[in-house]
Amino acid sequence: MNKKLIALAVAGVISGYGTAVNAAATVSGFADLGYYLADETKDDSRTAAVLAGGPANKNAQDSTFYGNGEIDVVTTVGAVTTRLDVNLDTTTTGTSGSLEQAFFAWDMGAVTLIGGVFNNPMGADVEDKPEMEFNSNSVVYKILDNQTAGNRGNNLEGVALTGMLGPVTLTGAFLDDIGAAAEENSLALVANYTPMAGLDLELGLITQDDQMNTATPSMATTAGDVIDFNVTYSTHGATVGLDYLSASNIIDSAYTLWLGYDFGKFKAKIRTENVSFDAAGSADHEVNTIYGSYKAADNLSIALEVRDADRSVTAGTAAKLYNNDAVTGVGQGTTTTLKFTATF
């Protein structure tokens, strides 16, 4: 199930990956193992003088395994469904755990009230590995993710109200400011519409305080208010999607366009992405990705991805890392990832 579609309310929160524990509770989750191979252009290319005479730093993500998993628990008592998602990630310093979602959904008939920490309903991309279209998240997802403060990920905290208005599902939310500005709040409004089978449309807006750089007050440190429109169409095994984002600060526009075909046990996809900035003279960020996956078992998939990113950094002045840019998550060069994902 696609947990990102919080706008689908109870139909989304009571679905899992899914082993039923009893009639009122479901436990589900996944285990994910990946392997990175990165080209040498993503090593730290600053000069030895800049590094105070020390050796150039190697890319810590090159030729490494990474593992993560998730345990989701959903319970329903009467009209109230409660969901708790816990992430477990292995890092270079050990193992860390974090809370992804913790919320209730109260079915009030015409509308559903949701409160707690929940996945951002905006954007076509999702957070959990089994539901992602590719091994890596899109630049649009990364922009949304990098707006949220701390280790919350692309998740929101507050209350949301969702319901149907004719054929459209509307979700409105009152939230903590996503950039953690003191005494400020964010508002979100998302509309979902399926005019025909296989065609899904979404339009969303989220606000945030225009935080500024204290050293240079005229420079914003957040993307400000963000508007996102995405459309996905699937038919006869083929899928085409477009995710377009615009912001009031820093970013002029960003888009992700992808195509895919499902051959049964095999899937093949391509994706092209671009980010344009407000500042005059800023170079676009461009990313191209090819992807293939194999369904080895009912609950195990194997996926290979090659991702080439260009953010036009100048050698000798900045590190060329996979997630180097703090706003877009775009690094430099080519990264190959092999991923094994098992669900339960």
Whether 191 and 203 have beta carbons less than 8 Å apart is answered as: yes
pLDDT of residue 189: 95
Distances (CA, A) of 314 to 231, 302, 320: 35, 35, 9
Which two three-digit tokens encode residue 6? 């919080």
Structure confidence by residue, pLDDT tens digits, 261-282: 999 999 999 999 999 988 766 7
| Residues facing 74 on adjacent strands | 26, 83
- How confident is residue 218, by pLDDT bands cut at 50, 70 and 90? low
With the CA atoms of 198, 269, 11 and 172 taken in that order, what torsion angle do they form, in degrees rounded to the nearest 10? Answer: -90
Place of tokens 């508007």: 227
Helix ranges restricted to H, 122-236:
139-147
The average pLDDT across 26-37 equals 92
Q: Has residue 225 got a pLDDT over 80?
A: yes
pLDDT at residue 59 in the model: 57
Q: Can you give the pLDDT at residue 298?
A: 96
210, with CB counted inside 10 A (0-12, 13-18, 19+), is middle
Residue 160 has pLDDT above 80, yes or no: yes
pLDDT confidence of residue 24? 63
Mean pLDDT of the chain: 82
Compute CA 37 distance to the chain's CA centroid, rounded to the nearest angstrom: 22
* Statement: 6-343 belongs to CATH 2.40.160.10: yes
Confidence of residue 222 (pLDDT cuts 50, 70, 90): confident
Number of Cβ within 10 Å of residue 107's Cβ equals 16
**pLDDT at residue number 238:** 98
What's the confidence (pLDDT) of residue 46?
A: 44
pTM: 0.86
- What pLDDT, on the 0 to 100 scale, is given for residue 54? 46
Name the band, by pLDDT with cuts 50, 70 and 90, for residue 325: confident
* Domain boundaries defined on the chain: 6-343
**Rounded-to-integer distance, Cα 116 and Cα 89, Å:** 22
Neighbours of 300 (CB within 10 A): 13
pLDDT of residue 10: 46
- pLDDT for residue 321 is more than 70: no
Q: How confident is the model at residue 70 (pLDDT cuts 50, 70, 90)?
A: very high
Spatial separation of the C-alpha atoms in residues 137 and 43, rounded to whole Å? 21
Name, of 29-43, 111-125, 305-319, 327-341, the range with top average pLDDT.
111-125
Contact 108, 312 (CB under 8 A): no
Q: What are the tokens at 108?
A: 């009030």
The answer to whether the CB of 134 falls within 8 A of the CB of 249 is no
287 forms beta bridges with 273, 309
For residue 243, what are the β-bridge partners? 230, 256
The HSE-up count of residue 253 (CA atoms within 13 Å, CB side) is 5
Contacts of 193 (CB under 8 A, 6+ apart): 167, 168, 169, 200, 201, 202
The pLDDT score that the predictor gives to residue 47 is 44
Q: Is the pLDDT of residue 249 over 80?
A: yes
Band of pLDDT at residue 1, cut at 50, 70 and 90: very low
Residue 9 has pLDDT above 80, yes or no: no
Maximum C-alpha span of the chain: 67
pLDDT at 336 over 50: yes
pLDDT in tens, 172-207: 999 999 888 888 999 999 999 999 999 999 999 999
Determine the average pLDDT of the residues in 229-236. 97
Assigned token pair, 244: 């377009």
CA nearest neighbour of 69 among 93, 112, 40, 100:
100
Strand partners, 115: 104, 159
Integer Cα distance of 160 and 187 in angstroms: 10
pLDDT score, position 61: 64
* Lowest-confidence segment of 48-52, 63-67, 125-129, 254-258 by average pLDDT: 48-52
Are 299 and 110 spatial neighbours (Cβ–Cβ below 8 Å)? no
On the 0-12 / 13-18 / 19+ scale of CB atoms within 10 A, 119 is buried
Most confident of 94-103, 149-158, 293-302: 293-302
